[in-house]
């Protein structure tokens, strides 16, 4: 049970709590970084490594099917060098390497990259892992294939999306292929503004000690959703995590890619090559430069 002795005598004022729970301005950031926080990153890694769920990485069967499809549309003999952006603990990178690609993986989670590097040594896989933000990493090489899988693109602000596309334009060889996926509006059907309290009486995802979490969703113009998490521990310390998420249609993703020079763009319902359906919750683009 929650240890009430740890709770301070100071009470949280209504104003202080309300100010945290009010609808924030667009792109206003919180103070809790879910990908870099020392405790949360442990939970993120566990979610990545779960073999049966799609919590942080897609399940094993889907990833296997995804790589089998990618090797069909970008065979190793013609597209040998692959850059895996947002590679996490290397689940896709390892699969790509086993298929014969020369793989570079980039992610800014130190815990995930450390795990990926350890696994590459254990499994004897030569993969070049870079612990860096792919918006600012200095990469001199060019690649035949660039992947950005699990809807990472939509988690970036518009300015960051454009910067990433500019980076990819430098890194992708002429004739190379960019493969990435995004969410569509159907992912959020019947999900309006919501707020749900949760009491965690022992160590959990957000904190190593008991805490209360208020999870909220807000809709914004421009096909943007905010997932906000207010976390309060037993010492009444409050922290905020904000995850801004963009979703797209065919028209809006074409518009976002307007400054990116490409020869062809093909649409699919997912990154395993499922034919495109208007009602799909995800959308995958294969773009030939």
Q: How many domains does the chain have?
A: 2
Q: Is the pLDDT of residue 22 over 60?
A: yes
48 within 8 A of 41, measured Cβ to Cβ: no
* Dihedral, 117, 118, 124, 127 alpha carbons, nearest 10: 0
Quickly list DSSP for 193-210: SEEEEEEE-SS-SS-SS-
Note whether residue 36 is domain-resident: no
Based on the fold, state whether residues 156 and 280 are members of the same structural domain. Answer: yes
Based on the fold, state whether residues 271 and 150 are members of the same structural domain. Answer: yes
Distances from the Cα of 100 to the Cα of 19, 37, 113, 189, angstroms: 53, 34, 21, 40
Based on the fold, state whether residues 47 and 13 are members of the same structural domain. Answer: no
Q: What is the pLDDT of residue 132?
A: 97
Based on the fold, state whether residues 239 and 261 are members of the same structural domain. Answer: no
Note whether residue 90 is domain-resident: yes
Note whether residue 57 is domain-resident: yes
DSSP 8-state code for residue 188: G
Q: Is the pLDDT of residue 135 over 50?
A: yes
Note whether residue 35 is domain-resident: no
Per-residue pLDDT tens digits for 59-84: 889 999 999 999 999 999 999 999 99
Instruction: Give the pTM.
Output: 0.91
Based on the fold, state whether residues 130 and 160 are members of the same structural domain. Answer: yes
| Percentage with pLDDT > 90 across the chain | 75
Domain that holds residue 147: 41-184+249-288
Q: How far is residue 59's CA from residue 63's CA, in Å, rounded to a whole number?
A: 6
Based on the fold, state whether residues 176 and 193 are members of the same structural domain. Answer: no
Q: Is the pLDDT of residue 271 over 80?
A: yes
Based on the fold, state whether residues 124 and 261 are members of the same structural domain. Answer: yes
Q: Is the pLDDT of residue 3 over 70?
A: no
Based on the fold, state whether residues 111 and 237 are members of the same structural domain. Answer: no
Q: Is the pLDDT of residue 4 over 60?
A: no
């Amino acid at each position: 049970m929650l240890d009430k002795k740890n709770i301070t005598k100071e009470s949280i004022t209504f104003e202080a709590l309300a100010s945290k729970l009010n609808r924030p301005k667009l792109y206003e950031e919180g103070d809790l970084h879910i990908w870099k926080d020392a405790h949360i990153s442990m939970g993120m890694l566990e979610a990545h490594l779960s073999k049966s769920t799609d919590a942080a990485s897609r399940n094993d069967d889907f990833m296997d099917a995804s790589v089998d499809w990618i090797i069909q549309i970008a065979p190793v003999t013609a597209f040998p060098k692959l850059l895996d952006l947002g590679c996490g603990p290397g689940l896709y990178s390892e699969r790509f390497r086993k298929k014969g690609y020369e793989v570079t993986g980039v992610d800014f989670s130190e815990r995930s990259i450390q795990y990926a590097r350890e696994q590459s040594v254990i499994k004897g896989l030569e993969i070049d892992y870079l612990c860096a933000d792919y918006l600012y990493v200095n990469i001199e090489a060019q690649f035949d294939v660039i992947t950005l899988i699990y809807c990472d693109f939509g988690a970036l602000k518009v300015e960051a999306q454009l910067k990433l596309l500019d980076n990819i334009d430098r890194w992708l060889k002429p004739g190379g292929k960019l493969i990435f996926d995004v969410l569509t509006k159907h992912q959020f059907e019947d999900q309006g503004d919501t707020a749900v309290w949760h009491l965690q009486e022992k160590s959990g995802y957000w904190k190593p000690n008991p805490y209360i979490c208020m999870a909220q969703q807000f809709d914004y113009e421009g096909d943007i959703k905010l997932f906000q998490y207010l976390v309060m521990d037993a010492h009444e310390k409050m922290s905020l995590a904000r995850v801004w998420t963009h979703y797209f249609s065919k028209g809006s993703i074409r518009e976002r890619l307007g400054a990116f020079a490409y020869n062809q763009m093909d649409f699919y319902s997912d990154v395993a090559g499922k034919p495109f359906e208007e009602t799909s919750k995800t959308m995958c683009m294969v773009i030939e430069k």
